[in-house]
Structure 1
Amino acid sequence: MAVLTFELQKGFQVGENTHFEVGLRELTPKDVFDAQMASEHVTILDNRPYAYISNAQFGMELLCRQVEFIGSVNGPFTVKELLKLDIKDFELLQAKSEELDKMMIPQEVLDGISQRGEH
């Protein structure tokens, strides 16, 4: 399984330790399924249950599963943990995740994944 490593600028703070090296791994079908389930919401619409997937939450859930490690801290990470990153580090994390996805997953599959939450 491919792992892409890079360095954060400000780092990920855990207690008094700051971690900089990030390892992103390629997503598995289980990651995609688990992220879909975690971002699925059920509501009542016209007196009938309606399930939908939040695209924003789905993307974050995928990212959480894709982070293999930050320094000596092993993933998976929670949304709450990743949102503690500095904005520049978070943007870098997202950009590197997209870079890895483009290397590992055909574009038509990526398009299909992004459209699933729209149904």
Structure 2
Amino acid sequence: MASDSPVISDENNMTHSKSIITGSSLEEHSNYGFHEISSTTVKIQQLKTDLNAENQHERHALTELNEELRLIVDRAHQLELQNSQYMTKLFNLRQQVFINRITGIQTDEHNERTSG
């Protein structure tokens, strides 16, 4: 062997004339990288699943809130309509009372004239 050529020992150490380079097999690194990528992919998928579930839950909650709001608005509209009907009845009753008072006053005056 030449003095500058590397020597591979049983521990995967490469030796030059002046330095020792320690290494590991390519297979060990590629498995480690694959494991890290696979683990990261699983974490990302789990995060996506969690976010989708949370998003779906929020959509459901918003749908329920929108339905409740619609019911409240419908009820408010019904109450406004009912209030309008009551106001019309009140106006008609006041008008009738006014007419009855005027008619009653005129009747009283008429009775006083005819009796007196």
TM bin, normalised by shorter chain, reads: under 0.3
TM-score (norm 1): 0.16
Structure with the bigger RCO (C-alpha within 8 Å, sep 6+) is: 1
Compare the two structures and name the one with the higher helix fraction: 2
Which protein shows a greater Rg?
Answer: 2
TM-score, scaled relative to structure 2: 0.17
More strand by share: 1
